[in-house]
Amino acid sequence: MKKLCATILCLVLCLGLLPAQAAGPEVSAKAVLLMEKTTGEVLYEENSHEPLELASVTKVMTMLLIMEALDEGTITKETMVPVSATAAGMGGSQVYMKEGEEFSVHDMLKAIAVASGNDACVAMAEYLAGSESSFVEKMNARAAELGMENTVFCNCTGLPAEGHHSSAYDIALMSRELILHHPDIRDYTTIWMDTLRDGAFQLANTNKLIRFYDGATGLKTGSTDAALYCLSATAEKEGMELIAVILGSPTSADRFDTAKALLNYGFAGYALVTVAPSEPIPPVEVTLGTAPSVQPVLTQDSQLLLAKADAAKVSTTIDLADTLQAPVEQGQELGNLTVLVDGKETQTLPLVAQEGVPRLTLWQVYRGMLETLFCGV
C-alpha cells in the first residue's frame, strides 16, 4: 500500500498538481492525515478515507457543538449544567461527577478538553438537546454539513458502539471547523494541568504534546481496545496551524511520535504566503459620475499554501477596465488580480469597487457646465 501511495504521489508531483516535497514520514498507524487550517489543503495522507473507530476523538464534534451554542447565545460559560444519573454513571474516562451536582459550562469544557470526561459530555448533551440521543442527531447532522461522508456517531463520548466510526479526513474536517471558527477552544485544549471543584479535583491533559511539543494548540486524544490509540493534534508556528490526525496507532507513545513527525514535516516544508499586489492598484476612471474615479480593492485577504522553496517566487499581475460609466455599485467587479508562482498562474482574485459612484443628475451636469463656463471666463 505504501509503495502504491508513493507511486501516486510521484505521479501527482510530476504533473505539477502539488509543490515538490520530500516523502512523508514512516507511520505505523492504520490511517493518518496532515491538513493546513486556513486553506484546508491536505499535505500528507495514508488511508485517510477509511472508516475506523475513533474513540474519544469523537469529542471534537461534542466540543464544536458546545462552542457553536456559546456563539449563538444558547448558553454562556457561566451557565450551570446539572448532572443526571445517566451522566454520572458513564464509564471510561471521567471526572467522577455525581448526580445532582452542577458545573458551569466553563468547567464542563475543561473536563472534556483536558480530562476527556465522558460524564461531562453526556451532561452537556442532555442540557443542550434534552437527551444524548437527540444531541447525537445534531452531531450527525453537523457532520453531514461539513462533508464528513465516512462518519457515523452513535454517542457523544466515543465509547465503543457498533457502527460508530469516522475517518482521518473527516476528523480533520471537524477539527478544522473547531479551531478555525472557534479559536477560544484553545483556552481549554492548551491547559496542561488544572482543577475542578475549587481545587479539590486535579486535571491533567491526556494530550502530552501540550507540554512536549513547541506550538501545540490541542486537540483531542482517544483510545479503546478496538480503536487502539488515536489523536487529532493541532499546532501553530510562524502563523500557520496544522492538523495531524492519527487513527489506530499501536501504542500511546507511537501516536504522539507520529503526530510530531507529521507536524515537523509540514512546518519544515510549507509556508502560508499572504497574497498582495506587487504594486499599488491604480484607480479606474469613471465618466458621468459624482466622483472622477473609483478605487479597486481585493475582496478579502488571500493566503496560499506553498512549499517553502516557492514562497519567494510569488508575483501578481493586475487586469482592470480602462474606464467605467456611472453608476458604479460598491463591490462591483472591476477586474482581477492574477497570482503567479514561479511564473505559473495559480489563482485569480476579483478586484471590486471600494465605494459606489452615483451617476450625475441632469441638474448636476448643467451646474458643472455653468461652473466650467464661468470659471473659464
What is the amino acid identity at position 196? L
| Identity of the amino acid at 347 | Q
H/E element, 46: strand 42-46
Pairing of strands 284-287, 323-325: parallel
Active-site residue identified among 30, 37, 48, 56: 56
Cα 35 to Cα 70: distance, rounded to the nearest angstrom: 26
Examine residue 327 and say whether the peptide bond preceding it is cis (omega within 30 degrees of 0).
yes
Active-site choice (30, 37, 48, 59): 59
Alpha carbon distance 10, 298 (integer Å): 35
C-alpha cell belonging to residue 357:
459612484
- Grid look-up 489563482 returns 347
Strand order in the sheet with 216-224: 42-46, 31-36, 240-249, 228-237, 216-224
Q: How far apart, in whole angstroms, are the C-alpha atoms of residue 281 and residue 186?
A: 38
Active site residue 56: yes
Task: Output the DSSP codes for 249-286.
Answer: ESSHHHHHHHHHHHHHHHHHHEEEEEE--SSPPPPEEE
In the chain the first and final C-alpha atoms are separated, in Å, by 87
Alpha carbons 165 and 36: distance in angstroms, whole number: 23
Strand, coil or helix: what is 172? Answer: helix
From the candidates 48, 84, 93, 116, give the one annotated as an active-site residue. Answer: 116
DSSP 116-135: --HHHHHHHHHHHHSSHHHH
**Beta-bridge partners for 297:** 352
116 is catalytic: yes
- Contact call for residues 224 and 248 (beta carbons, < 8 A): no
DSSP type of residue 23 = P
Known catalytic residues are 56, 59, 116
